Structures are given as C-alpha cells and as structure tokens.
Amino acid sequence: MRFFVTGGAGFIGSAVVRHLVADPANHVVNYDKLTYAGNLESLRQIANRPNYRFVQGDVCDQQTILDVLKAEDIDIVMHLAAESHVDRSIDGPEAFIETNIIGTFRMLNAARAYYTGLTGDKRAGFRFHHISTDEVFGDLPFDSGIFTEETPYAPSSPYSASKAASDHLVRAWHETYKLPVVLSNCSNNYGPFHFPEKLIPLVILNALDEKPLPIYGKGENVRDWLHVEDHAAALHLVATKGANGESYNIGGRAERTNLDVVKAICAALDARRPRKNGAPYADLITYVTDRPGHDRRYAIDPQKAERDLGWQAKHTFETGIRATVDWYLANDWWWKPIREGKYAGERLGAAVKA
C-alpha cells in the first residue's frame, strides 16, 4: 500500500515510518516540516530505501499536500504531525492551535479533495487515519476508572484541547462529507529516538550528566506507558484494518507513577553504568513545583484494538524501559547533538523540499 505519513520525522512518526518501510511491498511518503522535534537522523537506517521518500512541508499547506497525494497515488493518510509537549503549550499555545487545529483542518480539506477524485477500488480502500492522545479525555481519580472509546472529552491543557478539537474535526468531516476516517488515541509513548525534553529520555540523559532528575510535585501522577514500537504496529493495523468511522484506544497496560518510572530508570542505570562515586542514581531525584493543570492519572483500555484488530503489546514496562536505557547508552550519536545544541539546521537525508 501507499502511505502518506505526516510528522514522520518525529518520535512516533519515525517509528511508524520505519515499521512501514520494513515491508518492501509498502511505499511510504514522509511529510514533515522539520521543526525542533523533527529529526531525519531517526530515519538514517531507511533513508536510501527505494520504497521511501521524504518531502519537507507544512501540514497547513493544503495545496502542497494535495499535490503530493495525487503525485504519489496515496492509499492511506496517517496524520501524526502535531505539537505535543504540554509545558510548551502552557508557555505558548498559539503554535498548538496553528498546527493541531488549523493543520488538521487543512489536511482534511486536502484529503477530501483527493478522495473526491478517486474511483473504484482506490476510492473504496482510501482511509484518513488521525492519531490522537488519551489526554483529550482529561484525567481520572487515582484509584478508579479507565478511558474507553466512549469516554467523554474533558481536556485540561492547551495541548489536549487542541488535540480534542482536531479529533472533532475529523469526525465532522466523516459525518458531513463522508470522508473515510479512522481515529486512535494512545497513552504515553517511550522508546528509541524520543526527543530529550520528554520525561524518560530527560531522566536518562540528566542522570548520565550527573544533573538533577526533576519530578513534578510528589511524583504521584500516574500514566499508562506504551512502547513506541508496539504503538507503531497498532497504528498500522488501525490504518489498514480499522472500520470506517471507528476509534481505537491504544495502551500498554502499564500504569506507573512518575516517581516509579524515574526509579526504574535509575535502577537500570545502576546496573548498566554505575556512577563513579558509587552512589545510586536515585540520589539525583529532585522535586520541583507542579505544573498548572497537571492531570492526576491516565489509564487506557485497549480491549477494542486487541479484540477487533488482533493487536497485542509485545513489551512489558520492565523489558521496555531496560531496552530504552540500553538504546540511549549505545546511541549517543543521535542524542548528543541535540543536547549540545548543534541540532537546529543540520538535517541529514534525501530531502525534497515542497
């Protein structure tokens, strides 16, 4: 099949692209603006594959998107491009409104124009897959509840509000214009090539640098953790086998407090690269002022995806976090330029600027 993946140089997007390109029967077009979190180095291993093409472009550029969809004869659009960091959304929400809402609106318009021109099997097989987050559901009590596909939306940050708005737009385009769509909402991802501002890579790399390991409040907030490679496999199934108009929750069945996550990372590092002074890495844990609107707990029910699509997470949290720590220890070629501030403007790969 022929896939058009937006945000394919980002953390989850690059995992999806690597997963799809591994099958030579697929053709994958990676469409990414290359903002601060887009890194073509994450795709170094597949950059020269004959079934892969990179196009640099903005999801707000409706005409270019339509031109690429037509030129590449696309079967499935997988829309992952998004501003995704809650703290950044609190400090500067405008970029989140622009990319996550206006960008999705333009993506839908381009997809609709493309779909209108399709006929036969090509038209019957087309899908627009919108990838979202569990944060649109708000939060849960510490001791009860779980997010399902029927959970009402209750976003609490500019980021989650912008993603909720984009979800509603996708459903509206399906109902009003009969655009064939599928949606998915995922829990917190982790794994290789994760941008170092996020919790797990930040803690790993701060520990290696003997810097404080920051934890909001008392570290009691709970998240469900999903390995990014498990998520990529799930998204492939949603895009190709999901029922038209349906939504699927993707989770790792791995709820942990933030403090538990940090302690697990510290234990893995203690075993793999002990500190020179012999002290445990957990001594570096530092509690910082909680951020505004910090959701208490996310917990996602993946039963529908497991039952209807045959998907199953392969990683437990314990195996996944150890593998993630090992990856960061072995791949400083990827993260050191980011940490050292040499990243902006230095892009590798066969780029075609739209």
Q: Which residues are part of the catalytic machinery?
A: 134-135, 159
CA-CA-CA-CA torsion sign (136, 231, 16, 267): positive
Question: What is the number of alpha carbons within 13 Å of residue 191 lying toward its C-beta?
Answer: 25
Beta bridge partners of 209: none
| Separation in Å, CA 103 to CA 6, 247, 312 | 11, 20, 31
DSSP letter assigned to residue 43: G
Compute the distance between CA of residue 155 and CA of residue 153 in angstroms, rounded to an integer: 6
Q: Cβ contacts of residue 55 below 8 Å, gap of 6+?
A: 29, 30, 31, 32, 68, 351, 352, 353, 354
> Residues 187, 189, 195, CA angle at the centre, nearest 5°?
140
CB 128 within 8 A of CB 111: yes
> Residues 270, 276, 282, CA angle at the centre, nearest 5°?
40
CA 122 to chain centroid: 28
Question: What is the number of alpha carbons within 13 Å of residue 97 lying toward its C-beta?
Answer: 6
